[in-house]
Structure 1
Amino acid sequence: MSRSTVPTADINPPDAPSPVDRLVRVAIGRATMGLSPAALQLAYLDWALHLASAPGKQAQLANKVLRKAARLGLYAGQCHRDDAQRCIEPLPNDRRFDAPEWQQWPFNVIHQSFLLTQQWWHNATTGVRGVTPHHEEVVNFVGRQMLDVFSPSNYLATNPELLRQTMEEGGANLIRGAGHLGEDIQRMLSGAPPAGAEAYQPGETVAVTPGKVIYRNRLMELIQYEPATKTVHPEPILVVPAWIMKYYILDLSPGNSLIRYLVEQGYTVFAISWKNPDAADRDLSFDDYRRLGVMAALETVNAVVPDQRVHGVGYCLGGTLLMIAAAAMARQRDERLATVTLFAAQADFREPGELGLFIDDSQVTFLDDIMWETGHLDGKQMAGAFQLLRSQDLVWSALVNQYLRGERMPMNDLMAWNADATRMPYRMHSEYLQRLYLDNEFADGLFEVDGDVVHLADVDAPFFVVGTERDHVAPWTSVYKINRLARSPVTFLLTNGGHNAGIVSPPEHPRRRYRVNTHQPDELLMHAEAFQQQIPVQEGSWWPEWREWLRARSGARRKPPGLGAPDQGIVPLGDAPGQYVFLK
């Protein structure tokens, strides 16, 4: 059995982990929020031992301490002057100290001291010879998180904006904040969604594009959407969302719904709605998601719209799954896919970005034991990992605004969807982490489907690939690597925004921009940095750009098909959004 294979529940090989060992790690995981103490300690020891044996680096750091202290002391003596030169500027994306109040004494000295400390710790945790890159990234990341806890912007006594507001309101902001804190604690203990999320319920205010569930199995429901135009392009669209999210990220409120947009552009749209798995689904495999998900959906689409190729669309992990399914189909000479569109989806996981900080052999083993006990990975645990990647924006800024400023951030459809977390089956997630994140089998030409090694280079269909500039889950430079793997034309589009907000980009959305370029297989590939520097920026949403790309690869419009295929036993089972979207 290969290293990447996860045994099913009824197989107990001699080298299987001891249940006692697993239960010990489960108990530890409850206290560490699923983080492996061994992984963190290995990273720290790697850094600390190499630093201890590097007297030259230590001398540099000591010198930096003295120089920064001297600069801060000089600034403290001159900071009352209007022309005083600050010691250090915040990083470009750090907006914590932008307000004019931070330039007044003593807050100017306080925040400059913090930024200098932050810079010193960055120097201390990087550039130590001999430390493995992964361990260096972990130590640097943990250092940033610990420093962010002590940022002067997080505390009333050291935040001049908070002090001014508190004086002006006579402390009313703190009273409101205490009320918000009490309400949030109550909601957390009762399992209720965040305040305001009640206004965004699937089937009522989000996921309201008219349609019918026409197929259901133990893993997914397939929704066919009703036509909104008198004629449609003959090629249908099949949407494959990630199973770590509810599908309606692509069918939010009507103005933000990509699915509604496609229907209104004259396409017959089908979308998979994954089941939220529980302990009974623990042995669902990664290949089950391909067979019972993508392939079962494709068979149903072909029955409803016969003799037509399909535009496949995959989002995040759904895109990775669609790529693997397309490669397996190509190996079998199955040409049912007309095109493949990928939203923030990686094929090469060698550089997965900051999410890779949580993924190494120690951490994957730790997660495997946690999932072994419950049969799944809780969605809240994944959400916590994503929040850590952007703790400055998603944790500390939110805490300050809600509990010290007393200001609730208005809930919107995207935020409410983000709180509607899902789980992942034990076996599938273990296979996914091992085979893709750790072993990178698909990009390295080692991924097997039904006994055959599959390659993205075998896919003849053209690709439309979207990356987002501020993606912490699937960094666009990693997504861009599909150009090295594919042997068919790849139209790569880079848009501003993050992993979710960059994709939910309707034409009416302000301040949107993108770059787009098509790479032909026989052309020299442009480096990612060159792409960003040389491809001109276009203002507006990328949705119309993709619409025109699809239209150029679609046939003349005709009468839309009916809902389902009654002659083949495929009949509507109920209205969209179906049943699985409501499973908690």
Structure 2
Amino acid sequence: MTTNDDVASENSPQMTANLEKIEALSERLIKAVSGKSSTNPALSGPDRELFSNALNSYWHEMMQNPAKMFEHQAAYWGKSVKHYVEAQQVLSKGKLEAPSDAFTTDKRFSNPLWNTHPYFNFVKQQYLINAEAIAQAVDDVEDLDSTEKQRLKYFSQQIIDMMAPTNFLGTNPDALEKAVQTEGQSLLDGLENLVADLEANNGELIVKLADEKAFQLGENIATTPGKVIYRNKMMELIQYSPTTETVHETPLIMFPPWINKFYILDLKKQNSMIKWITEQGYTLFVVSWINPDESYADVGLEGYIEEGYLAAIREVKEITGVKQVNCIGYCIAGTTLSLTLSLLKKRGDKSIKSATFFTALTDFSNQGEFTPFLQNDFIDGIEAEVNEKGMLRSFIMARTFSFLRSNDLVYTPAIKSYMMGEAPPAFDLLYWNGDGANLPGKMAVQYLRGLCQSNEFADGGFTLMGETLNLKDVDVPLCSIACETDHIAAWKTCYRGVQQMGSTSKTFIVTQSGHIAGIVNPPSKNKYGHYTNDDLKLDADAWLEQAEFTQGSWWPRWESWLKKRSGKQVPARLPGDSTHPELCDAPGTYVMINSKV
């Protein structure tokens, strides 16, 4: 009988070191997981009623039409048995080769071994047979309403994606090959990555998507020169330095979403929209929102409007000496810009000369891919969460967005980091994506209940700040940019909202690509084109069918539209004035506040 010391003495120095490292990592892993902060369980999945209703519907269908159910079951059994027999026949002939693969290409199975090795080919094909059977079973459920059916499809697909053989070491040839090639070092590195991610997020497993050490705000991203010239509890107001001798008289205020940080529009010099706008001769102000903590629990949408939008408009008018400003609102900030425009209409205030909306939803009658998360069980869970924590923590929103594209944003990064032992890439966009922000409790519930669930702004009126706000009150000249493959703010839904706005001067542009890449699309890249059509009375499908396609960025087209609404040329304005001293350099201090799990 040998002792552990005897075994260790027979191992190589590298093996001994690795064993010691595993022991240390295991201790850290246990400590990190034991420190996990609590999260309302309702936010981790649908209530049991959804699956109970689906099961009841399935059994009801089986009783009513047993032949159909048996047909589907027999087809599944037949495919599985046939698959097994074919594999056995090949092996019985002494051939270590896979049977012919009848399935289409899936990038998860790009390793040649999935097609050439009998074991991996068998695992892959059986997984795809199982996935097809689950999807068919969901399609066969007929007694659920459309919303429940959509949710059932979504959560069933999550199960299918989670059970992919690529997600497990023993059935992932890429991970196994690398483990052999590196003598197990890749697995140790992967365990180190796993433990580090858990420790960084208080026990919550959030896959790190980018190398955080590769970026420093103000040094290699968010570097456009400017100054913070105003600050309150909700935001810092940045005025960017001019790059032209003259500028348009009417200043431009950009309101980014407060779910993430503003520097998505100022990543690198090559793709910085902020830099590009200053180069076109505009006095540009950008709001950088606070990353709220629990002390902001009682801040609602009215707080963002009063101390964000209205405060920024007031200060910019004072600094520049003008009566009107142009505004941009991106995503949720575009939704809130619409609310602000309705409020100003009620008050007879004409401070906003024109409005630009980036991927902004204003009519929520079709909840799109967010339908699974906008039902009462999830929203009830969010209310319970914010009542306890005072805020909706950023990782909860990030997790929700990620699972809308789980293979790309959850499983593939996890495989590379935890099974392959790879370091996350130095990718600025992914760095920004991981730099989320919390939402104040009151604001989150107002938005989810009043706007997303009840659609009050477009249907009947949204009560806020003593007024009933309506979408039809948005009557300033406007330009709305939506993205063709946007899964967060579907372009057809953005279009429907614009159709209901009261303005007589509307421009609508659909750019190729998604929620971020479609907006951050500089002319120099000549990558994505865009669609335009002046007839906004058409339904969305007809609008796109009859639209004119232009290759290249939409930025110059929008700037041409903005130029007509920006007045004469005046001498370029330096940041601040005697009553607005420079508080600090851009990108400011609020953007540096990180979220904590």
Contact map agreement 1:491 1:519 (CA 8 A) in 2: no
Q: 2:291 aligns with which of 270, 273, 276?
A: 276
Contact map agreement 2:251 2:566 (CA 8 A) in 1: no
1:475 match: 490
Q: CA deviation at 1:179?
A: 3.9
Alpha carbons of structure 1 residues 74 and 508: separation in structure 2 relative to 1, 3 Å? farther
Superposition RMSD in Å:
2.9
Is 2:73 the partner of 1:65?
yes
1:494 match: 510
Q: Determine helix, strand or coil for the equivalent of 2:524.
A: coil
Equivalence map 1:72-471=2 (5 Å): 73-74=81-82, 86-89=101-104, 94-104=106-116, 105-168=118-181, 171-189=184-202, 194=208, 196-471=211-486
Mean Cα displacement is larger for which, 374-383 or 303-312?
303-312
Contact map agreement 2:533 2:548 (CA 8 A) in 1: no
Q: Which runs of 5+ in 2 are unaligned?
A: 1-35
Q: Per-residue displacement from partner, 1:101-128 (whole Å, max 9, x unpaired)?
A: 3222343343232223222222222352
Q: Per-residue displacement from partner, 1:150-199 (whole Å, max 9, x unpaired)?
A: 11222333234444445555555434433433443443449999462123
1:554 match: 566
Q: CA deviation at 1:136?
A: 1.8
Alpha carbons of structure 1 residues 279 and 169: separation in structure 2 relative to 1, 3 Å? closer
Q: CA deviation at 1:394?
A: 1.0
Q: CA deviation at 1:259?
A: 0.9
Contact map agreement 2:481 2:509 (CA 8 A) in 1: yes
| Letter of the structure 1 residue corresponding to residue 488 of structure 2 | V
Is 2:57 the partner of 1:53?
no
Q: CA deviation at 1:76?
A: 6.1
2:214 and 2:259 map into 1 onto residues whose CA distance is 22
2:580 match: 570
Contact map agreement 1:330 1:458 (CA 8 A) in 2: yes
2:343 and 2:248 map into 1 onto residues whose CA distance is 26
1:198 and 1:510 map into 2 onto residues whose CA distance is 30
1:255 and 1:442 map into 2 onto residues whose CA distance is 38
Is 2:592 the partner of 1:582?
yes
Q: Per-residue displacement from partner, 1:521-557 (whole Å, max 9, x unpaired)?
A: xxx32x3333444435433333223222222433332
Q: Which has the higher Rg, Structure 1 or Structure 2?
A: 2
1:184 and 1:576 map into 2 onto residues whose CA distance is 30
Alpha carbons of structure 1 residues 143 and 175: separation in structure 2 relative to 1, 3 Å? same
Contact map agreement 1:340 1:464 (CA 8 A) in 2: yes
Q: CA deviation at 1:229?
A: 0.8
TM-score, scaled to structure 2:
0.84
| Letter of the structure 1 residue corresponding to residue 551 of structure 2 | E
Alpha carbons of structure 1 residues 164 and 83: separation in structure 2 relative to 1, 3 Å? closer
Q: CA deviation at 1:387?
A: 1.5
Q: Per-residue displacement from partner, 1:483-537 (whole Å, max 9, x unpaired)?
A: 33123333222233332233222233364233233345xxx32x33334444354
Is 2:522 the partner of 1:512?
no
Is 2:50 the partner of 1:43?
yes
Q: Percent identity?
A: 33
1:419 and 1:535 map into 2 onto residues whose CA distance is 36
1:120 and 1:509 map into 2 onto residues whose CA distance is 43
Alpha carbons of structure 1 residues 392 and 36: separation in structure 2 relative to 1, 3 Å? closer
Q: CA deviation at 1:368?
A: 1.2
Q: CA deviation at 1:72?
A: 5.1
Q: Per-residue displacement from partner, 1:358-406 (whole Å, max 9, x unpaired)?
A: 1222322221121112211111111111122111111111111222233
Q: Determine helix, strand or coil for the equivalent of 2:534.
A: strand
Q: Determine helix, strand or coil for the equivalent of 1:342.
A: strand
1:412 and 1:277 map into 2 onto residues whose CA distance is 26
2:281 and 2:499 map into 1 onto residues whose CA distance is 33
Contact map agreement 2:123 2:165 (CA 8 A) in 1: yes
Q: CA deviation at 1:293?
A: 0.9
| Letter of the structure 2 residue corresponding to residue 96 of structure 1 | R
Is 2:554 the partner of 1:542?
yes
Q: Determine helix, strand or coil for the equivalent of 1:492.
A: strand
